[in-house]
């Protein structure tokens, strides 16, 4: 697999995804059996301008488990004169002298692409504004593959702030590569899926249904879907419509009532962190796989690092 940078979901085809998943399976053996020295001598730089726990630690753990080393900044612009002056481009060129791969999270959409244009070393997009979060979506896709045995023909409900979730946008681009996919968009107005993504899915043969309102039909959908993919509904997305936010917080919840209607072999996913949209009572149910996603994410990120640094087990 030729992988120079990881910038957006559209750069992958199904063959690459299959290869990546096979590599991730092999990485799982390393996680289970102990350390590896596959990336010994290599250095990863985490350059995070926007806070993260999961993504940053996941990449750093992946690098450590493969025997590499890590340089880390979790508030990159706070700790640098870049706050006052300087550009992302200059920082990326500079970091390229210190590290062999840069994992970048930035508040502006398109920043990973900008970085890749000047970088001496591979750039991995760890989230750029509300645009994309391709490695989160890769681990989501791998989770579906592992838990359901395949992705073609999956019926999935995407629930939450669809307008602003970069994970859901990337996942949408990935799902469009598979056949027979049906997607239910479930969101409070006006946080529905953006028109460009709706058009993209439609053009690529994905069948979709829109459920936009303050009382989502979660129990009804539970009888139909293979996957509930749930995300946060942040208060900021509602502006001054605080009543709608409070209603959404009560209504957009996967709880015992929804679980009762779900198919036996369906799954509940969440990129985490969660607020109240998946009730803690759901955690013990075998269909709740959001913590398994964390494990699959580690394997996928180990696979990405080994592919991008051209090392194989
Ligand atoms: N899922 C995810 O991107 O979480 P973080 O913001 O903690 O990285």
The 10s digit of each residue's pLDDT in 106-153 is: 999 999 999 999 999 999 999 999 999 999 999 999 999 999 999 999
Q: Which atom of ligand 1 is nearest to the CA of 56?
A: 8
The reply to whether ligand 1 has any atom less than 6 angstroms from the CB of 231 is no
- The pLDDT of residue 313 is above 60: no
The 10s digit of each residue's pLDDT in 263-277 is: 999 999 999 999 999
Which tokens in the block code for residue 274? Answer: 């969660």
How many CB atoms neighbour CB 203 within 10 A?
Answer: 9
The 10s digit of each residue's pLDDT in 84-93 is: 556 899 999 9
The 10s digit of each residue's pLDDT in 156-180 is: 999 999 999 999 999 999 999 999 9
Any bridge partners for residue 178, and if so which?
A: none
Q: Write the CA distances from 136 to 15, 139, 210, 216, integer angstroms.
A: 19, 5, 24, 25
- The pLDDT of residue 312 is above 60: no
The reply to whether ligand 1 has any atom less than 6 angstroms from the CB of 170 is no
For residue 51, the CA-to-ligand 1 centroid distance in Å is 8
Q: Which domains does the chain have, with CATH numbers?
A: 9-131+297-312 (3.40.50.1370), 134-293 (3.40.50.1370)
- The pLDDT of residue 80 is above 80: no
Please state whether the predicted TM-score (pTM) of the whole model is above 0.75.
Answer: yes
Which tokens in the block code for residue 180? Answer: 């027979």
Packing angle, helices 134-148 and 54-65, rounded to 10: 70
The reply to whether ligand 1 has any atom less than 6 angstroms from the CB of 136 is yes
């Amino acid at each position: 697999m030729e992988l120079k940078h990881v910038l957006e979901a559209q750069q992958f085809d199904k063959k690459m995804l299959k290869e990546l998943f096979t590599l991730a399976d092999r990485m799982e053996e390393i996680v289970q059996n102990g350390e590896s020295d596959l990336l010994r001598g290599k250095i990863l730089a985490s350059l995070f301008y926007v806070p993260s726990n999961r993504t940053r630690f996941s990449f750093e753990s992946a690098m450590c488990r493969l025997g590499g080393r890590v340089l880390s900044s979790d508030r990159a612009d706070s700790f640098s004169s870049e706050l006052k002056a300087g550009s992302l481009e200059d920082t990326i060129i500079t970091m390229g002298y210190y590290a062999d791969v840069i994992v970048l999270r930035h508040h502006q959409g398109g920043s990973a692409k900008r970085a890749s244009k000047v970088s001496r070393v591979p750039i991995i997009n760890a989230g750029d504004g509300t645009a994309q979060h391709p490695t989160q979506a890769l681990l989501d896709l791998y989770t579906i593959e592992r838990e359901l045995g395949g992705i073609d023909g999956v019926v999935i409900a995407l629930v939450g702030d669809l307008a602003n979730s970069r994970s859901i946008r990337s996942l949408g681009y990935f799902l469009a590569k598979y056949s027979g996919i049906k997607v239910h968009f479930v969101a409070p107005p006006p946080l529905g899926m953006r028109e460009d993504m709706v058009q993209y899915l439609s053009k690529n043969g994905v069948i979709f249904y829109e459920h936009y309102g303050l009382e989502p039909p979660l129990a009804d959908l539970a009888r139909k879907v293979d996957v509930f993919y749930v995300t946060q509904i942040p208060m900021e997305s509602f502006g001054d419509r605080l009543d709608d936010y409070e209603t959404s917080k009560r209504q957009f919840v996967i709880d015992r009532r929804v679980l009762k209607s779900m198919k036996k072999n369906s799954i509940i996913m969440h990129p985490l962190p969660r607020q109240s949209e998946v009730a803690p009572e759901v955690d013990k149910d075998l269909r709740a796989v959001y913590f398994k996603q964390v494990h699959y994410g580690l394997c996928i990120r180990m696979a990405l690092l080994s592919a991008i640094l051209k090392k194989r087990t």
